[in-house]
Amino acid sequence: MDNIEQIVAAVTAPDQSVGALAQAHLDNLTKPTGALGRLEEIARRLCVMKGDARLSQPRAAVTVFAADHGVAAAGVSLYPREVTTQMVFNFLAGGAGINVLARQAQAQVHVVDVGVDHEFEAVPGLIAAKVMRGTRNFAAEPAMTMAEARQAVMVGARVAAQLMDQGVDLLIPGDMGIGNTAACAAITAVLCGRTPAEVTGRGTGLDDKGLARKVQVLDAALALHRPDPADPLGVLAAVGGLEIAAICGYCLAAASRREPVILDGFISTTGALVAAALAPAAREYFIVGHASQEIGHQAQCQFLGQRPLLDLDLRLGEGTGAALGLSLVRAAVAIYNEMATFESAGVTGDKVEG
């Protein structure tokens, strides 16, 4: 698909009737009805997403989108922008948290430069898709033009399409970008109808004074730009980030092809938030892997109608919480496919009820 509008138009709500078939199978497994709780919910939801009461173990991929943020110059992060570049090399070397957890969860890891403030040589494993060398400082001017925001969305959509064309059928968006929690808090405030103070966290570890400064920067930026929640792409251009835009496109492309997306924390869920604002049915294909410590994540999950699978006090990003959630998804699929039914095991159903 060549543009955002075509992808959005292809996102349709799944047929919920498949869930009844999946639940009937789950209820016939050798256990009390509902005894495996959210594992059953996961399996049922996967069947609904795919429109098929048969499941197979997913071929999963994590894509880490990396970009820098001009708003970092406003003092909203403890770390300098150079860390984004350094972490890209760490991802490529396999040494970051997401690399470790993705290996455990049997998922590929891909790294995309959508807007890092560094000109990489030809680096093995790095997908070069730079729109610009970081956003502008939205404390003083729009982060991106509308054309730049749309281009970044399409970067994510095309990466997702390429992966799905190669057989990937479960996608995980990851992120890297110093200053990105500020952009995410601004977007979340607008789309979820909250004040910056209600959705702004400490990011990389700001103290109380730093957090107060961050909130002041976002208050002033929203007063300056007055982004319209009815125009999600406009919000993204005004106060967003290139990696957030790419995650939005990645999520939309997956939803347009009925493939599940496991979301990580605050950053990736912000991209999904914009995707759902553009195509409300997209949220039916999202699974939230964990509850982030960033306070705005709760508002995002409420907007998406999602309950996180895990709550481990994580706030790293990169896709780490989603990779842990993938392990639960794999467990749910295994239960669905491998557990005996009452008939096959010769077990009387009413003797295991309750």
Of the candidates 285, 275, 304, 303, the one whose C-alpha atom is nearest the C-alpha of residue 14 is 285
Q: Are residues 98 and 130 in the same domain?
A: yes
Which pLDDT score, from 0 to 100, does residue 349 have? 65
Q: Are residues 64 and 122 in the same domain?
A: yes
Q: Can 338 be counted among the known catalytic residues? A: no
pLDDT band at 203 (very low <50, low <70, confident <90, very high): confident
Strands (E), the chain: 60-67, 107-115, 126-128, 170-176, 261-263, 286-288
Q: Are residues 14 and 122 in the same domain?
A: no
Kindly report the CATH number assigned to the domain that includes residue 33. Answer: 1.10.1610.10
Average pLDDT over residues 252-275: 98
Residue 292 — φ and ψ, nearest 5°?
-70, 150
Which pLDDT score, from 0 to 100, does residue 346 have? 86
Which pLDDT score, from 0 to 100, does residue 202 have? 85
Q: Are residues 66 and 103 in the same domain?
A: yes
Average pLDDT over residues 43-70: 97
Q: Are residues 18 and 146 in the same domain?
A: no
User: What are 99-116's pLDDT values in tens digits?
Assistant: 999 999 999 999 999 999
Average pLDDT over residues 158-176: 98
Q: How many angstroms separate the CA atoms of 5 and 250, rounded? A: 14
CA distances from 28 to 37, 54, 224, 284 (A): 15, 15, 58, 26
Which pLDDT score, from 0 to 100, does residue 350 have? 53
Going by the DSSP 8-state scheme, the letter that residue 1 receives in this structure is -
State the total domains in the chain.
Answer: 2
Q: Are residues 219 and 265 in the same domain?
A: yes
179: pLDDT strictly greater than 50: yes
Q: Are residues 232 and 194 in the same domain?
A: yes
Do 296 and 315 meet the contact criterion of CB atoms below 8 Å apart?
Answer: no
Which pLDDT score, from 0 to 100, does residue 351 have? 44
Query: Tokens standing for 5?
Result: 């509008």
3-class DSSP assignment, residue 176: strand
Residue 312 — φ and ψ, nearest 5°?
-120, 15
Name the residue range of residue 46's domain: 4-55+335-351
High-pLDDT (> 70) share of the chain, % = 98
Q: Which of 198, 318, 338, 353 is catalytic?
A: 318
Average pLDDT over residues 330-342: 96
Q: Are residues 20 and 145 in the same domain?
A: no
Nearest 5 degrees, angle CA 191-CA 193-CA 196? 95
Which pLDDT score, from 0 to 100, does residue 347 have? 85
Do 266 and 317 meet the contact criterion of CB atoms below 8 Å apart?
Answer: yes
Q: How many angstroms separate the CA atoms of 211 and 228, rounded? A: 25
Q: Are residues 311 and 339 in the same domain?
A: no
Query: Residue with structure tokens 């070397």?
Result: 93
Q: Are residues 69 and 32 in the same domain?
A: no
285 or 72, greater pLDDT: 285
Average pLDDT of the chain is 95
User: What are 277-320's pLDDT values in tens digits?
Assistant: 999 999 999 999 999 999 999 999 999 999 999 999 999 999 99
Q: Are residues 12 and 118 in the same domain?
A: no
Which pLDDT score, from 0 to 100, does residue 56 have? 97
Of the candidates 9, 2, 3, 49, the one whose C-alpha atom is nearest the C-alpha of residue 279 is 9
Kindly report the CATH number assigned to the domain that includes residue 89. Answer: 3.40.50.10210
Q: Are residues 30 and 109 in the same domain?
A: no
